[in-house]
Amino acid sequence: MQILVTGAAGYIGSHVVKQLLEQTDYEIIIIDNLCTGFETTINTLKSLDSTNKRIKYYNQNLSEWEKVEDIFKENNIKEIIHFAASLVVPESVEQPLKYYLNNTANTANLIQIATKYGVNKFIFSSTAAVYGEPNKEDIPVSETTRTSPINPYGSSKLFSESVIKDTAFANETFKFVILRYFNVAGADVDGKIGQSTLNATHLIKVAAETALNKRAKMSIFGDDYDTQDGTCIRDYIHVCDLADAHLKALKYLDTNPSDIFNCGYGYGYSVKEVIDTMKKVSNTDFKVDIVPRRAGDPSTLISNNTKIKTKMNWTPKYNDLELICKTALDWEKNL
């Protein structure tokens, strides 16, 4: 059985491919143009394939639609996990079209080809950014909380969700699971892969880089929020637990209808708590300064994860901030 994984040279996709190799028999077709991913990651994944036959990699931009269709002609793809996207929020404000083209248009095109070639399972990487700034009374946010993105990145993903839902509505053999990720962090617990993103803005990665002196200092964007210590609160999910949700989603679709699920732990930590935890696990006291708030950062974003736990039987294994920080730090040392 073949599965297409787009964006597998990147952070989350590579963790999912590792679990697919370990826990399933899929032959894995990868499309990634390495715009933010790495060939070394593909090579590591290939090295984890004991048969040497299960990974087929295409260095291909999803925007070249005819060439993408050729890949479907050459293979027998019936399932897709679609990670490939652009995902830097401030960049999306400056270059909105990059986001609507890469995230929405390329997703629509991929789905058009997918339906033409009889794909019946589509797992999509969405984001908590589709919720925008939820009202206080809506936290923790559930899948039915009003979606109201406040930047082009979140909008581009919400539009993609509509494309996926409407396609499934019109085509009963095409089923989907949309996973709305909260703050993804940490690295493979075996230390084989991790987040290599250049110029990352993810708090835990930045804190790990600062702990290792790759940055002279790091900043807290605002300490005057209406939270216990004044800094923003987020729901951090370990990338291996998130990867597991994708494998569960594939199985879920065997016997269940299409659906949308939040992926988070249902618990939030403040920016200060995360930094203190990184200082503790790295045994360093790196420099942190307080700078003004960034536009569009909601004070608190926490998932209600009851749906994925009950319907998919998803049971997180790495729900531990120290472990998340430690795996991120260990990976950062490796890089």
Ligand X SMILES: NC(=O)c1ccc[n+]([C@@H]2O[C@H](COP(=O)([O-])OP(=O)(O)OC[C@H]3O[C@@H](n4cnc5c(N)ncnc54)[C@H](O)[C@@H]3O)[C@@H](O)[C@H]2O)c1
Enzyme catalytic residues: 153
Per DSSP, the three-state class of 88 is: coil
Contact 95, 151 (CB under 8 A): no
Taking the complex as a whole, how short is the minimal distance between the CB of residue 152 and ligand X, in angstroms? 12
85, 89, 187, 247: residue in contact with ligand X (rule CB under 6 A) = 85
For ligand X, give the closer residue by CB, 130 or 312.
130
Count of chain residues binding ligand X (CB under 6 A)? 29
| H/E element, 262 | strand 259-263
Mark the segment that binds ligand X (CB under 6 A) among 10-18, 206-214, 219-227, 315-323.
10-18
Tell me if 36 contacts ligand X by CB under 6 A: yes
Instruction: Annotate 207-219 with b (16+ C-beta within 10 A) or e (fewer).
Output: bbbbbeeeeeebb
23, 40, 43, 63: residue in contact with ligand X (rule CB under 6 A) = 63
Mark the segment that binds ligand X (CB under 6 A) among 57-65, 137-145, 249-257, 309-317.
57-65
Tell me if 131 contacts ligand X by CB under 6 A: no
Taking the complex as a whole, how short is the minimal distance between the CB of residue 103 and ligand X, in angstroms? 7
Tell me if 132 contacts ligand X by CB under 6 A: no
In the sheet that 300-301 helps form, which strands lie side by side, from edge to edge? Answer: 269-270, 233-234, 300-301
Taking the complex as a whole, how short is the minimal distance between the CB of residue 43 and ligand X, in angstroms? 13
What letter would DSSP give residue 264? S
End-to-end Cα separation, the chain, in angstroms = 34
What letter would DSSP give residue 93? H
CA distance linking residue 307 with residue 283, whole number of Å: 38
Residues that bind ligand X (CB under 6 A): 7, 9-13, 31-37, 61-63, 83-85, 87, 102, 106, 125, 127, 181, 183-184, 197, 202
